């Protein structure tokens, strides 16, 4: 079993839809949770990060962590064609660990 599981998609939604992207993980020591967005043939860019459980909102994006279920989500409201990309979750911890564990990424396509 992989430490981090992420559905590869592709996920196709119409413009304006609410998108839900998810990852599950097995290591209860993870404390920091990140979402990266990667456009085709580009490097990933950090979108959001969350510490421990709870929600974090930034514009149209909301990151949610449920440590009891070992489940994290990224919600995109009012999705736009420019949101079409691959979204990777990443996690790290415990304290003193440098290493991020990445999900395989979910490919999202927002149709105009």
Partner 1 sequence: DGGITQSPKYLFRKEGQNVTLSCEQNLNHDAMYWYRQDPGQGLRLIYYSQIVNDFQKGDIAEGYSVSREKKESFPLTVTSAQKNPTAFYLCASSIKGRSHYDGGYTFGSGTRLTVV
Give the number of other Cβ atoms within 10 Å of residue 4's Cβ.
Answer: 21
Residue 75 vs 102, nearer CB to partner 1: 102
Residue from 22, 24, 31, 53 touching partner 1 (CB under 8 A): that is 31
Place of tokens 């043939």: 41
Structure tokens at 92: 């790290």
Neighbour-count burial for 72-87, b at 16+ CB within 10 Å, e otherwise: bbbbbeebeeebbbbb
In the set 21, 25, 44, 110, which binds partner 1 (CB under 8 A)? 44
Cite the beta strand spans of 1-112 per DSSP E: 4-6, 11-14, 19-25, 32-38, 45-51, 54-58, 61-66, 71-76, 85-92, 101-102, 106-111
Using CB under 8 A as the binding rule, whether residue 22 contacts partner 1 is answered as no
- 95 binding partner 1? (CB under 8 A): yes
Name which position in 1, 41, 82, 112 contacts partner 1 (CB under 8 A).
41
Q: What minimum distance in Å lies between the beta carbon of 51 and partner 1?
A: 7
Q: Least distance to partner 1 from the beta carbon of 12, Å?
A: 18
Contact between 16 and partner 1 by CB under 8 A: the answer reads no
Q: What number of chain residues touch partner 1 (CB under 8 A)?
A: 29
């Amino acid at each position: 079993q992989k430490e981090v599981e992420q559905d590869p998609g592709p996920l196709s939604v119409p413009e304006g839809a609410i998108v839900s992207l998810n990852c599950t993980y097995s290591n209860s020591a993870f404390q920091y949770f990140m979402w990266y967005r990667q456009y085709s043939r580009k490097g990933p860019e950090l979108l959001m990060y969350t510490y421990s459980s709870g929600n974090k909102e930034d514009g149209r994006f909301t990151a949610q962590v449920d440590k009891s279920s070992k489940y994290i989500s990224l919600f995109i409201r009012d999705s736009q064609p420019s949101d079409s990309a691959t979204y990777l979750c990443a996690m790290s911890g415990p304290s003193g660990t440098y290493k991020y564990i990445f999900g395989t990424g979910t490919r999202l396509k927002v149709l105009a």
